[in-house]
Amino acid sequence: MRAGVHQSMVKAPLLGGGHPRLTVINAVLALAILSTGLHWWTIALAVGVGLSVQWALRAAAKRDAEWPVIYLRHLREPSIRMAHGRAWGNPEKPKPTVPPLPRWMP
């Protein structure tokens, strides 16, 4: 009998149903809109922007929870890799996907 793996071990942690970094940016944006003044229209705008962006983040997280990380990695990589001269030669080493550990840690 095999032991099952709990879903919390394989699923990405989400904050409010969306990616944690983007959820924090969304909250800061809503607070920035709210800090312009406590009027009824700024409160309505902050709540509207906050809820609509969070809804979009939750919808995107249902599709793929790690999409911001994948998208940023896509932007860093070149769209076309340069060809090397030999058919059986050593191609250029790809960039590492995991960043190296810092030599000095504070």
HEC profile for 26-81?
Answer: HHHHHHHHHCCCCCHHHHHHHHHHHHHHHHHHHHHHHHCCCHHHHHHHHHHCCCCC
The DSSP bridge partners found for residue 15 are 18
pTM: 0.64
Average pLDDT of 39-67? 93
Given this model, what pLDDT does residue 37 score?
87
Check whether 104 has a pLDDT greater than 90.
Answer: no
3-state secondary structure 14-41: CECCECHHHHHHHHHHHHHHHCCCCCHH
More confident residue, 26 or 85: 26
Helix (H, G, I), strand (E, B) or coil at 12: coil
Check whether 29 has a pLDDT greater than 90.
Answer: yes
